[in-house]
Amino acid sequence: MRLPPLRSRLAACLLGLVVGCGSSSSSDAGPAEDTGVADGAADSPSTTTTDVSLLVMPEDGEAAIYDPIRNASKSVHCEVYMLTDNGALNALVAAKKAGKDVKVLLEHYPYLATTANDAAFKTLTAAGVDVRWTSSKYALTHSKFFVVDGVVAYVMTLNLTNAGVGGNREYAAVVRDADDVAQAEAIFNADLTGAAPPPGGKLLASPIDARARLLALIDAATKTIDIEMEEFSDAEVASHLVTRIEAGVAVRVVAPSSGRSTGTSTTLGSLRANRATIKVLATPDLHAKLIVVDGTEVYLGSVNLTAASLDKNREVGVLTRTAAVVTRAKTTFEADFAKAVPL
């Protein structure tokens, strides 16, 4: 039996490196697709996802998550850090009862909630779903994605919890590019068996390439960097942001108004001292992991800006320059920034 790595997680907490996800309170395809590239962005289809649309939670509602699972034609493969929401659980069970190939991977010991997934594991097992605990090779399996029928992948910031699907500020990329969906399936299958996923691909993943690619995204900024982030304590990321500020780039960060780790609060204070604009958002509760650079490129996914998330966990995210996704992400960020208050 895998034992909770308590000592290492307590040490991470003391260092402010904890991911801290999953316990914040409170049409399946989402918005119409636009595979055009945002104005001002250099088109780089080899490194960014292009056939993608965006869901914004809680505005788009629970059905945007439940319906594609429940209405799958062939299969649902789901890898998620926390699964406690009855609607999501019922959708997975319904797909299995309808004869679909349903496989689920769950983190065995979510941070500070080590039994949170036990009930879902029992329910799925009783329904005949192939449900497994994720490998102990990662500090946490903190990824949040599912693949439907092998043709569409939902890469999310949200856990399948009541707060995740119905209360928090969250984002989900609905990815239809065949290569990207195949990569998501490859990551799932590797995590199912404990193997290493094949290298490469446009989706970013921890601990493979998330750090390098997010630092490259930040370093490429020439005008603006806007960040909505639940946890932010990584010193290297903060240093790169300060370098961009010194180069004249405007950096804005929106963080949760409460429940922040010590590391996050310390990092935000340091960035504020270096002329970043820092605000905190009370409503909706902020669980997002979003970066918008120069109004032309977006990152979203499960990766927080912590050393644990970037280097030790299994995480999955999306980089895209798709115009409709960038526009909606920017609009949502601006609305949250306007409501937020200075730290």
Cα–Cα nearest to 340, from 296, 274, 262, 284: 284
CA 23, CA 320: separation in Å to the nearest integer? Answer: 28
Q: What is the CA radius of gyration of the chain?
A: 19
CA 4, CA 24: separation in Å to the nearest integer? Answer: 21
Domain ranges of the chain: 6-41+49-201, 210-342
The pLDDT, as a whole number, for residue 6 is 37
The pLDDT, as a whole number, for residue 46 is 52
> Hey, what CATH topology would domain 6-41+49-201 get?
Endonuclease; Chain A (3.30.870)
The pLDDT, as a whole number, for residue 47 is 83
pTM of structure: 0.88
The pLDDT, as a whole number, for residue 19 is 38
Start-end of H helices in the chain: 6-14, 63-70, 86-97, 118-126, 162-166, 178-193, 210-219, 235-246, 262-273, 307-311, 323-339
From the CB of residue 275, how many other CB atoms can be counted at a distance below 10 Å? 11
CA 153, CA 69: separation in Å to the nearest integer? Answer: 11
The pLDDT, as a whole number, for residue 11 is 36
At how many degrees (to 10) do helices 86-97 and 118-126 cross?
A: 20
The pLDDT, as a whole number, for residue 123 is 98
pLDDT along the chain (343 residues), means of 10: 39 37 36 42 61 97 98 98 98 98 98 97 98 96 98 98 97 97 97 87 96 98 98 98 98 97 98 98 98 98 98 98 98 98 97
pLDDT tens across 115-158, in order?
A: 999 999 999 999 999 999 999 999 999 999 999 999 999 999 99
**Helices first, then strands: H and E counts in the chain:** 11, 15
One fold for 6-41+49-201 and 210-342: yes
CA 157, CA 143: separation in Å to the nearest integer? Answer: 8
CA 130, CA 121: separation in Å to the nearest integer? Answer: 10
The pLDDT, as a whole number, for residue 335 is 98
334: its two tokens: 């601006």
The pLDDT, as a whole number, for residue 38 is 53
Contact 309, 206 (CB under 8 A): yes
pLDDT tens across 322-334, in order?
A: 999 999 999 999 9
The pLDDT, as a whole number, for residue 33 is 33
CA 117, CA 8: separation in Å to the nearest integer? Answer: 21
> Hey, what CATH topology would domain 210-342 get?
Endonuclease; Chain A (3.30.870)
The pLDDT, as a whole number, for residue 331 is 98
